[in-house]
């Protein structure tokens, strides 16, 4: 048995998990969990990256002696370093409004079709490409000599070594999904200096060893290697989908719902671009063909607005509310910004001529019905656009704990849902580390181990999908 620490930073919480792996065993325990609370300062919405780093150190101390450490986090965001290697300011949150209207200037230089052909990425206002364009005339960028994506920044602080992990780099919209290298021509046309990025590294590559100061602070005995994992949390989560064959769709449910397919090659058709599907890079040359759906962010923001509310009670009450009374488009970027979420959801229902949900239970039901409906659309669209039929939908991530959402997703998709594991990103992180020690083989081997060792719940679809089709039509408008 070996022990691996998986640092997994989500938009709502960070955790350090310990995975104990043997040839036929895989056990995950939580060493430490800490809140991830973005902070609004006069210049905008920022990540408190020092608090996150402190949480990582606390977590490593709680984890105890491990054979290796891997880090994954949410995508697209980065820290800038000056010529001395010091961090220039707090990383900007992808929900910061600085990218509003920026896409127009990018698209005036590189039309949307060309951008999709070059990078395979969906349009999302927060893609690193747009963030860098928004930052163009700032003093910070002028002084920056290095850009490190968030997991790479934390890895640098732990080890002193710099690199850019590929799966997360693919979310910058500056990587060519065909060559799996930088899109040099595109970056040149847009005046983006690729020298800012540290050299690419791939999951499984060595990423240094914990610095002596880190060993002292965490009480660990060196050398402790840090291993590059699929550092985009969604890439790690997809690697840990316990699928039996390739005929599956997945939904990674947490702050976001990332719904789609694992493919061997990108889908770069015009139809796919119009449907806003993304081709992010996954483990072992795979493509994560998926759509971003607003996810449980909608509920997180409502709960924040309502103050103290027990999530379990809220979900019980929501289960009693009649189904599909009102739905909103959970893929709409209008819900990206924080604030006033119950009012914004009510306004969207009013604007589409549906009953306006009022109580927290009604609004929660509206959110869960809307997420299930968006899951249905993404799973159906992905199969059609990629020509890749599926028999089952795997739900992983925090939403696994929400049995109502899992059941509604099965109902809406008209397919069985297999829910679990909850901590898929951490498990994918652990398994890539274990692979470097030869404890697991290929992706199929990893998935077999997950299926044998992790608790999974199966939800069969109830009733027909007609009510969901009707709700879809209602959203499409008259």
Tokens 């059941």 map to which residue?
407
What would the two tokens of residue 405 be? 């959402």
For the question of residue 411 being annotated catalytic, the response is no
Helices (H), 67-101: none
Nearer residue to ligand ADP within complex by CB, 72 or 165: 72
Cβ atoms within 10 Å, residue 320: 8
Q: Provide the minimum distance between the beta carbon of 12 and ligand ADP in the complex, in angstroms, as a whole number.
A: 3
Q: Provide the minimum distance between the beta carbon of 263 and ligand LRH in the complex, in angstroms, as a whole number.
A: 16
Cβ neighbours of residue 468 closer than 8 Å, sequence gap 6 or more: 324, 372, 373, 376, 411, 412, 414
Nearer residue to ligand ADP within complex by CB, 258 or 283: 258
Q: Provide the minimum distance between the beta carbon of 316 and ligand LRH in the complex, in angstroms, as a whole number.
A: 27
Q: Give dist(CA 284, CA 164) in Å, integer.
A: 16
Nearer residue to ligand LRH within complex by CB, 256 or 335: 256
Q: Provide the minimum distance between the beta carbon of 9 and ligand LRH in the complex, in angstroms, as a whole number.
A: 9
Q: Are 254 and 397 in contact (CB under 8 A)?
A: yes
Nearer residue to ligand ADP within complex by CB, 103 or 296: 296
Q: Provide the minimum distance between the beta carbon of 33 and ligand ADP in the complex, in angstroms, as a whole number.
A: 9
The residues of the shown chain that bind ligand LRH, judged by CB under 6 A, are 10-11, 74-76, 94, 232-234, 254-256, 258, 292
Q: Give dist(CA 150, CA 51) in Å, integer.
A: 13
Alpha-carbon torsion angle 339, 340, 342, 346, nearest 10: -130
Cα Rg of the chain (Å, integer): 21
* Secondary structure (3-state) at 44: strand
Q: Give the active site residue among 8, 77, 233, 381.
A: 233
What would the two tokens of residue 252 be? 């990674």
Alpha-carbon torsion angle 226, 131, 254, 332, nearest 10: -160
> Which partner in ligand LRH, ligand ADP, none is near 260 (CB below 5 to 8 A by kind)?
none
Nearer residue to ligand ADP within complex by CB, 91 or 397: 397
Instruction: Pick the closest to residue 253 from 166, 154, 368 (CA basis).
Output: 368
The continuous run of DSSP H or E covering 17 comes out as: strand 13-21
Q: Provide the minimum distance between the beta carbon of 323 and ligand LRH in the complex, in angstroms, as a whole number.
A: 28
The residues of the shown chain that bind ligand ADP, judged by CB under 6 A, are 10-13, 254-255, 296, 299-300, 311, 315, 397-399, 401-402
> Which partner in ligand ADP, ligand LRH, none is near 94 (CB below 5 to 8 A by kind)?
ligand LRH
Helices (H), 180-242: 184-189, 212-218, 233-239
> Which partner in ligand LRH, ligand ADP, none is near 78 (CB below 5 to 8 A by kind)?
none
What residues pair up with 279 in beta bridges, in sequence order? 289
Nearer residue to ligand LRH within complex by CB, 76 or 281: 76
* Secondary structure (3-state) at 221: coil
* Residues tagged active-site: 233
């Amino acid at each position: 048995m070996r022990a691996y620490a998986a640092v997994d930073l989500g938009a709502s919480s960070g955790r350090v998990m310990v995975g104990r792996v043997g040839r036929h065993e895989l056990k995950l325990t939580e060493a430490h969990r800490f809140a991830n609370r973005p902070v609004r300062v006069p210049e905008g919405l920022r990540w408190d990256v020092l608090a996150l780093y402190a949480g990582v150190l606390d977590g490593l101390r709680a984890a105890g002696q491990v054979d290796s450490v891997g880090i994954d986090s949410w995508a697209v965001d980065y820290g800038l370093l000056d010529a001395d290697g010091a961090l220039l300011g707090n990383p900007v949150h992808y929900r910061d409004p600085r990218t509003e209207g920026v896409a127009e200037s990018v698209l005036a230089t590189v039309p949307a079709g060309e951008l999709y052909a070059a990078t395979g990425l969906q349009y999302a206002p927060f893609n690193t490409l747009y963030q860098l364009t928004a930052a163009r005339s700032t003093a910070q960028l002028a002084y920056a000599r290095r850009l490190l994506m968030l997991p790479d920044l934390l890895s640098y602080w732990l080890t002193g070594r710099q690199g850019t992990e590929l799966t997360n780099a693919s979310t910058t919209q500056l990587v060519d999904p065909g060559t799996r290298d930088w899109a040099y021509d595109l970056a040149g046309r847009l005046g983006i200096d690729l020298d800012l990025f540290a050299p690419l590294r791939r999951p499984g590559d060595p990423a240094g060893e914990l610095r002596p100061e880190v060993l002292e602070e965490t009480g660990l005995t060196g050398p402790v290697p840090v291993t590059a994992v699929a550092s985009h949390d969604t890439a790690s989560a997809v690697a840990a989908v316990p699928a039996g064959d390739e005929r599956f769709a997945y939904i990674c449910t947490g702050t976001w719902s990332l719904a789609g397919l694992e493919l061997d090659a990108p889908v770069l058709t015009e139809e796919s671009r119009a449907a806003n599907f993304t081709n992010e890079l996954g483990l072992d040359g795979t493509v994560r063909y998926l759509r971003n759906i607003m996810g449980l962010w909608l509920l997180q923001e409502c709960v924040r607005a309502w103050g103290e509310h027990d999530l379990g009670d809220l979900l019980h009450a929501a289960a009693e509310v009649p189904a599909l009374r009102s739905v909103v488009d959970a893929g709409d970027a209008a819900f990206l910004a924080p604030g006033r979420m119950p009012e914004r959801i009510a306004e969207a229902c009013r604007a589409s001529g549906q009953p306006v949900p009022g109580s927290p239970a009604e609004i929660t039901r509206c959110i869960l019905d809307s997420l299930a409906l968006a899951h249905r659309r993404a799973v159906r669209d992905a199969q059609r656009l990629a020509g890749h039929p599926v028999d089952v939908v795997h739900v992983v991530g925090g939403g696994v704990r929400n049995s109502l959402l899992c059941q509604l997703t099965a109902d809406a998709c008209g397919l069985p849902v297999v829910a679990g594991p909850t901590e898929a990103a951490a498990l994918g992180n652990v398994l890539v580390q274990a692979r470097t020690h030869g404890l697991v083989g290929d992706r199929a081997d990893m998935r077999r181990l997950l299926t044998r060792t992790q608790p999974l719940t199966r939800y069969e679809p109830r009733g027909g999908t007609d009510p969901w089709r009707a709700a879809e039509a209602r959203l499409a408008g008259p």
